[in-house]
Every structure is written in C-alpha cells, then in structure tokens.
C-alpha cells in the first residue's frame, strides 16, 4: 500500500478527530495508507504544508464562517497548485457559489455520505479520486540535499522540485513493488542559453535494485514548459519518425515551474554527444553527413510542400522574434560597430561601413528600413542549433528541446544550423578580411570549391535550403541569416573569435541582400 500524507484543515478539532477514521478508510480503499496533519486555518495550514510536504489537502468549505473554507482553498491553491484538494462540508453549497471562488477543490466528499457509509456514493468518489490524483507518493530524490546549485537550493523551491518528480514518475495506483522505481537521482546537465534546469535522472527500485529507464528532466518557467509540452503533442508526437526524437515519459507543474521528462538518448545503450562536439573537433565528414540527414529533401517531414503557407511581412516576423523593443536592437548594433572596427578595420559612416574598398550597409538600415514583403512558412524545430541535435555512436541522429517548435519562416532551421557551424567549428585560421572574403564567396552555396572546411559546411546548408524550398526567394535567406546573427551579438558569452565570425556573416549577408535589391532595381 502506498503512503499518503494529508493535511486536515478544520477549525472544529472534535469534528476533525471524528472524521479522520472515515477518511483513512476511504484512502485505504483507494490503496493508500494515509497519515494526517491538523491545521485550523490558512496560516497554520501553510506552516503544516511547508513542514510536512503533504500530497492532499482536505478542507471544510465553511470553517468558522460562511465561505471561509472556500477562500482558504483559493489562497492555498494559489500558493500550492500541485496539492490535490478535497472539499468537504457540514452544510450545503450551490455550484454557482463554488464556481465564483476559483481555484477551488479538485473533488468534493459529502461528509454525511462518508459517515453513513453510502456504498454507491463512496465507490463513485473513490473512482473519481483514482482518476484525478496523479502523484507518485512513494518516490524520493536520493541526493536532494546535495542539489545546492541553481534555484532549487531554497526550501520552498526544493518542495516544488520534489513535486515535479512525483508527478513525472506517476504511472498508476497499483504498480509492481519490485519493478516500479521509488528512488531517483538527479545529475545536473546544464540548461544552455534558455535558463532551464536540465538533469539526467536515474531511477531504481529500492527493493529489487533494478535500474529503470534513464531520462532527461528539463525544468523551465511554467509558461515555457507548457509551451514545449504543447509543441511536442502538436508537432513532434505525430510529425517526426521515432528514430529522430526522444520519447515523452511524463510532465508536471507547480506554482513557478513546469517539468518535462524525455527518454534518455537510446535508453543510454549507446554513448552520444551533441553535434557541437563534432564541430569543435572538426569532424567535417561526420557533420556533413548529419546535415544532409537533417535537411535532405527526400527525408523531410515538417518541410513538406503540403505544410507550406504564404505569410505577410518577413520583417515583422524577425523583428518580433528577435528584436522586441528598441534596446535589443541597439545593444546588438553597438556590438556590431565595436567588432567591425576592431576585427575588420571598418570605418563607420552614417548608415554605411567601409572595409577596404567595399562599402556595406549598417544592419539597422538594411534589415529594418526596407520592406521585404511575403514569405513562406512551414513547421520548424525553432531552435535547431547544434546543441539540440544529438549524435549516437550507432549513427542515429535525434532532436531535443521543442520549446520553440511551431510555424516559422521556411529557412529558420537552416539559418540556425548555419550559425551553429560558425559559432562552434574549430578555428581554420581565417580572420579579418580573409574571413569576410570567404563569407562573401559562399553566397548561395552553389560553388563550394576553394572554400575552407567551415564555409563548405555553410554552403552545404544553403544548397539544401534551396533544394527544399526552390519557390522561396533566396533573398529571404540572406535577410534571415543577417537578422539571426545580429541577434547573437546580444549574447555576453560570445568569445572574440565567435563575435568576429558572427559579424562577418552579417556583413556578407547584407552585401548579398542589398546588391540583390540593386540588381532588381536596375
């Protein structure tokens, strides 16, 4: 029988003591051995919840005055939305009055029916509890006290972490006691640039010693986690082949956080690494094979013609996505000016930049001061950088992180991957004008001859972009790439070498974009 901790909130201590045996019997019929903690109001209830970390709250709807219990439930649900709340009453309440005081209880137990042992009512109530209560009460995090890094060091937030794991691990009310995991160890993995907390989760059964399926748990701000969960169901579950994606094992939510658990890559049967590592090691043939796999027109899923839609105003698309507010754009343009002068000897003259005998437009003018018109959209991963592409030693390629997945410009995933190649590829020794010339020579990717290894990979991405979407003007690729790289300049973590590559990409994209416009005008 599973353990269950419940707070019994009632200002009438005599009635509370008389009621608890009936509730204990109710929970036993559901398969739970309940332990009760008493409280007489909202303040005492909060103290008991913080001290004993219960799974269930039972609260009288009236307490010492009409509706006081409903107000207390609403307040405690706001603070502890993951608590399962059972309302009970010594009087009658109409649904209209209850609905006006949300959030309210998850289920109601009529005290008279409970005391009277009304069999049919109790059977229906037990079924309701088993349908709605989805928490693994027996699981514990073995290294909880050592998880001192990140936001979960505080006691209240540690409680939220425990609650998230309990929700993720729930798989029914009567699991096999030698199979189902009841111990979890969390190993921090780092959350990248998103601010999320990512853990490798190892779970085991303490009786049999069986180690269960490893998982990756990603904990994010509540709205971001919900968005990723929605995206997984909308675009990934039925849209990607099983060999390209991780499996969703469970999810949970608390006041501040949401969590999603994905199956660990290939159940940890094979070693794996992010594509970023292969780029850093300059494993160019391996990277080229992965890029071809990801973007091959013969293997496309999200990029298929039936999913393409014509959209209005590509400028608004990228301004809204990367440069909300004038500060975001000004920070990026200031960094652009600094790197242009230092790395390329650029001379800034109003809306233009002079480098050697070439003149380039400033990004603000070229990107946001000229109408670009329509563009095509499809389903995009939304953040297909090299850290979100995992390579297993058996050759499989798997996507992770679907927080940004949804409809976007057809070239967005290609541009993001191209930027990762620039950020993480090992140093080929190109700097200054030599680097800029290589970026200019890359163009639309048609002729990779004479290019260094990094730019050959960039050219490959661009060729595949054109093969996938021959109907989309390639000027929108130059625009998207310039906008994305400009956005990267807002990152304080860029090394000087990365910033130089990013600015070189911006300059080259703007050059091709502006000269293409002039050719059309001519």
The structure's pTM equals 0.80
Whether residue 192 is contained in a domain is answered as: yes
Closest listed residue to residue 368, CA positions, set 312, 399, 400, 329? 329
Residue 479 lies in a domain: yes
CATH number at residue 327: 3.90.1200
Beta-sheet strands, E only, within 10-55: 32-39
Is it the case that residue 17 has pLDDT exceeding 60?
yes
- Kindly state whether residue 30 falls inside one of the protein's structural domains: yes
Q: Is residue 158 domain-shared with residue 195, that is, in the same domain?
A: yes
Residue ending a domain, among 237, 268, 299, is 268
Same domain, 232 and 346: no
Rounded mean pLDDT of the chain? 88
Task: Return the number of other C-beta atoms located less than 10 Å from residue 479's C-beta.
Answer: 28
Are residues 123 and 241 located together in one domain of the fold? no
Model pLDDT, residue 240: 82
Flag whether 275 is in a domain: no
pLDDT for position 521: 47
Rounded to whole angstroms, how far apart are CA atoms 74 and 402?
33
- Note whether 382 and 478 are same-domain residues: yes
Q: pLDDT at residue 63 above 70?
A: no
**Least confident residue range of 40-54, 86-100, 205-219, 374-388:** 86-100
Q: Give the pLDDT mean for 53-61.
A: 93
Count structural domains, the chain.
Answer: 3
CATH of residue 97: 3.40.50.2300
Is the domain of 435 the same as that of 471?
Answer: yes
Q: CA–CA separation, 283 vs 275, rounded Å? A: 10
Beta bridge partners of 347: 354
Residues 6 or more apart whose CB falls under 8 angstroms from that of 3 comprise 32, 33, 35, 137, 138
412 and 481, same domain (yes or no) = yes
pLDDT of 194 reads 63
Q: Do 106 and 20 sit in the same domain of this protein? A: yes
Judgement on whether residues 125 and 148 belong to the same structural domain of the protein: no
In a domain, 273, yes or no: no
Which CATH number does the domain housing residue 249 bear? 3.30.200.20
Query: Which pLDDT tens digit goes with each residue over 160-208?
Result: 999 999 999 999 998 888 999 999 999 887 555 567 888 889 999 999 9
DSSP secondary structure letter of residue 235: I
Distance separating alpha carbons of residues 115 and 519, to the nearest angstrom:
86
Instruction: Write the CB contacts of 138 (distance below 8 Å, at least 6 apart in sequence).
Output: 2, 3, 182
| pLDDT tens readout for residues 431-447 | 999 999 999 999 999 98
Last residue of a domain, one of 69, 98, 132: 132
Would residue 274 count as lying in a domain?
no
- Could you list the residue range(s) of the whole structural domain that residue 57 is in? 2-132
Residues 427 and 317 in one domain: yes
- Residue with structure tokens 């993720």? 168
Q: Are 243 and 343 members of one domain? A: no
Distance between CA atoms of residues 458 and 447, nearest Å: 11
Residues 229 and 292 in one domain: no
In a shared domain, residues 87 and 190: no
Domain annotation covers residue 340: yes
The predicted pLDDT at position 119 comes to 92
Q: Which of 268, 296, 326 is the last residue of a domain?
A: 268
DSSP H or E stretch at residue 169: helix 155-169
Nearest to 309 by CA among 211, 234, 408, 226: 408
Q: What average pLDDT does this structure show over 118-124?
A: 93
């Amino acid at each position: 029988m599973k353990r269950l901790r419940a707070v019994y909130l009632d200002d009438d201590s005599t009635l509370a003591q008389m009621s608890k045996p009936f509730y204990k019997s109710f929970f036993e019929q559901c398969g739970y051995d309940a332990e009760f903690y008493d409280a007489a109001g909202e303040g005492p209830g909060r103290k008991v919840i913080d001290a004993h970390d219960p799974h269930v709250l039972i609260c009288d709807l009236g307490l010492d005055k009409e509706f006081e219990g409903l107000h207390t439930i609403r307040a405690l649900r706001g603070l502890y939305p993951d608590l399962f709340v059972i309302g009970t009453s010594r009087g009658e309440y109409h649904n209209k009055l209850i609905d006006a005081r949300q959030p309210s209880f998850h289920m109601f137990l009529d005290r008279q029916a409970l005391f009277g042992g009304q069999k049919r009512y109790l059977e229906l109530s037990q079924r309701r509890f088993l349908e709605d209560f989805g928490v693994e009460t027996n699981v514990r995090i073995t290294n909880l006290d050592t998880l001192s890094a990140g936001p979960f060091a505080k006691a209240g937030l540690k409680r939220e972490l425990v609650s998230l794991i309990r929700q993720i691990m729930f798989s029914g009310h009567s699991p096999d006691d030698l199979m189902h995991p009841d111990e979890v160890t969390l190993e921090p993995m780092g959350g990248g640039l998103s601010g999320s907390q990512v853990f490798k989760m190892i779970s085991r059964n303490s009786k049999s010693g069986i180690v269960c399926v490893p998982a990756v748990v990603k904990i994010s701000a509540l709205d971001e986690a919900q968005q990723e969960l929605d995206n997984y169901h909308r675009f990934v579950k039925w849209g990607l082949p099983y060999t390209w994606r991780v499996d969703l094992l469970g999810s949970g939510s608390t006041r501040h956080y949401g969590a999603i658990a994905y199956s660990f890559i290939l159940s940890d049967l094979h070693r794996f690494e992010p594509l970023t590592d292969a780029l850093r090691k300059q494993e160019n043939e391996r990277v080229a094979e992965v890029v071809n796999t990801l973007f091959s027109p013969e293997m496309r899923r999200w990029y298929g013609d039936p999913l393409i839609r014509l959209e209005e105003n590509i400028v608004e698309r990228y301004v809204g996505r990367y440069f909300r507010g004038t500060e975001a754009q000004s920070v990026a343009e200031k960094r652009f000016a600094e790197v242009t002068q230092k790395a390329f000897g650029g001379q800034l003259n109003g809306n233009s930049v002079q480098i050697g005998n070439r003149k380039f437009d400033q990004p603000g003018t070229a990107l946001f001061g000229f109408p670009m018109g329509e563009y095509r959209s499809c389903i995009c991963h939304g953040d297909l950088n090299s850290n979100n592409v995992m390579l297993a030693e058996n050759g499989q390629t798997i996507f992770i992180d679907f927080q940004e997945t949804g409809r976007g410009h057809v070239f967005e995933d290609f541009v993001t991957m191209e930027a990762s190649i620039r950020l993480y590829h090992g140093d080929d020794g190109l700097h200054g004008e030599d680097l800029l010339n290589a970026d200019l020579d890359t163009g639309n990717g048609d002729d990779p001859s004479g290019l260094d290894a990094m730019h050959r990979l960039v050219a490959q991405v661009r060729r595949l972009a054109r093969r996938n979407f021959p109907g989309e003007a390639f000027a929108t690729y130059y625009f998207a790439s310039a906008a994305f790289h400009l956005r990267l300049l807002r990152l304080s973590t860029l090394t000087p070498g990365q910033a130089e590559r990013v600015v070189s990409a911006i300059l080259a994209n703007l050059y091709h974009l502006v000269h293409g416009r002039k050719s059309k005008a001519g």
